[in-house]
Amino acid sequence: METKTVRFGEKLVTTKEFLAEGHSFCIGCGEALAIRLAMKALGENVIMAMATGCDEVTTTPLPYTSWRIPWMHTLFENTAAEISGIEAGLKILVKKGRMPERDLICVAMGGDGATSDIGIQALSGAFERGHDFIYICLDNEAYMNTGIQRSSATPYGASTTTAPAGKFSMGQVTRKKNMAAIAAAHDIPYVATACPSYRFDLMKKVRKGAELKGPAYIHILSPCPTGWRYRSDLAIEIGQLAVQTGIFPLYEIEYGRYRLNADPPKLKPIEEYLKLQGRYRHLTGEQIQRIQEMVNEDYAKLKEKVAASPL
């Protein structure tokens, strides 16, 4: 399959689709758009390992597949280990002359559960060993595929089936795990956050992560109409509000240097983001104010790191 040049500067992308139509993602799923954009940035010279999750079950119902690249399904816990083995094996085959040297990109994808919970040990090991691969976390902030159970990426105050809001609980009572910061603590070449509502930013970051030698980590917010309980036509708006309110800032860390990619002159009130989602409808004014304080605190800390980074 011939691939056209992807020219981000002119805001033109390939018309080739490496995630084929006919998958069974929910209408209004941010994850489906995120994968489609990421694949346009990566092109066809890709080998992918994918964890169990929404993206796996919706694209590969036996005997069909929506993938137009070499693709492997693996378990929640070992996606990074599998792509590490593939990357190492390819190097050996090239070294021994059993295959020509090609610019193949090794990619792993997993949801927030497969990344920040079940698969974090294998991911940390792959970062430590310095494998040349890109890991993409598709973060819909819960275990959506198995029934909307909370994960360590579920935000404070959100209601899920295993952390439900009710008479004796406000829903999730712990703060969202900062996986981008955990990845950055491994001193890998590239870490970035992205959102499909900002499509060219997402594609540039995926491409940069693939081109840099060594591990790269891209954390993509993936709005979920089913688990977040929003109208299916609001996915893009909700992603934009996540960035504009500061609850999910867009930034990148390249060789330890922080850079904000979207920094509004004034953040919008967090209530504008929360009110569009049924998972937050139980919150009181006091609880919303507490979330606002958390967002302000985290955003200020991020801006300090950006200011302290050399140009």
Instruction: Summarize pLDDT for 103-150 with one digit per residue, the tens.
Output: 899 999 999 999 999 999 999 999 999 999 999 999 999 999 999 999
Structure confidence by residue, pLDDT tens digits, 142-189: 999 999 999 999 999 999 999 999 998 999 999 999 999 999 999 999
> What are the structural domains, with CATH classification, of the chain?
17-308 (3.40.50.970)
Which pLDDT score is estimated for 1?
Answer: 41
Q: What is the pLDDT of residue 9?
A: 55
Return d(Cα 121, Cα 115) in angstroms, integer: 9
pTM reported for the whole predicted model: 0.94
Is the Cβ–Cβ distance between 153 and 193 less than 8 Å? no
* DSSP character string of 239-269: HHHHHHTTSS--EEEETTEEEES---SSPPP
Cα 30 to Cα 54: distance, rounded to the nearest angstrom: 12
Give the whole-number percent of the chain exceeding pLDDT 70. 97
The alpha carbon of residue 102 and the mean position of all alpha carbons in its chain are separated, in whole angstroms, by: 27
**Lowest mean pLDDT across 13-27, 69-83, 126-140, 141-155:** 13-27
